[in-house]
Amino acid sequence: ETGVTQTPRHLVMGMTNKKSLKCEQHLGHNAMYWYKQSAKKPLELMFVYNFKEQTENNSVPSRFSPECPNSSHLFLHLHTLQPEDSALYLCASSQIQGLFRLAERDGELFFGEGSRLTVL
């Protein structure tokens, strides 16, 4: 257990569906992240929230909509996705985001087990 929980673990949706991925961390961290992992590609950073404020949107299409209601919860709302969006979506948290940290260890990421998304 890493202290970061993602639900659902598996999701199959049609291109016209609307669904959401949920991430919850019990580590008292202040930064949360969404990464996308596709086959044979590096992990792609999608969004970053630091103290509930979005600090990074890595040119992600608008069909992905993040929400961070508090420092412990992060959502990824999905609508009108494409088959190429099928991937493992990983949520992570850290004490604080990158350059704001005071100690090196604060930049260590704790990952959830991921949500495997299949878009038909």
Partner 1 sequence: SQQGEEDPQALSIQEGENATMNCSYKTSINNLQWYRQNSGRGLVHLILIRSNEREKHSGRLRVTLDTSKKSSSLLITASRAADTASYFCATERGSQGNLIFGKGTKLSVKP
> Which residues of this chain interact with partner 1, rule CB under 8 A?
2, 4, 6, 33, 35, 40-43, 45, 48, 50, 55-56, 88, 90, 92, 97-101, 104-105, 107-114, 116
Residue 108 Cβ vs partner 1, minimum distance, rounded to whole Å: 5
Supply 96's token pair: 């604080």
Judged by beta carbon, residue 48 or residue 78, the one nearer partner 1 is 48
Judged by beta carbon, residue 32 or residue 119, the one nearer partner 1 is 32
Judged by beta carbon, residue 4 or residue 78, the one nearer partner 1 is 4
Q: Are 94 and 44 contacting, i.e. CB atoms less than 8 angstroms apart? A: no
Residue 29 Cβ vs partner 1, minimum distance, rounded to whole Å: 13
**Cα(33)–Cα(90) distance, integer angstroms:** 8
Q: Residue 106 has what DSSP assignment?
A: G
Judged by beta carbon, residue 65 or residue 107, the one nearer partner 1 is 107
Residue 5 Cβ vs partner 1, minimum distance, rounded to whole Å: 10
Residues 6+ apart with CB under 8 A from 4: 23, 24, 25, 26, 27, 91, 92, 93, 110, 111, 112
Residue 26 Cβ vs partner 1, minimum distance, rounded to whole Å: 15
Distance, CA of 92 to chain centre: 6
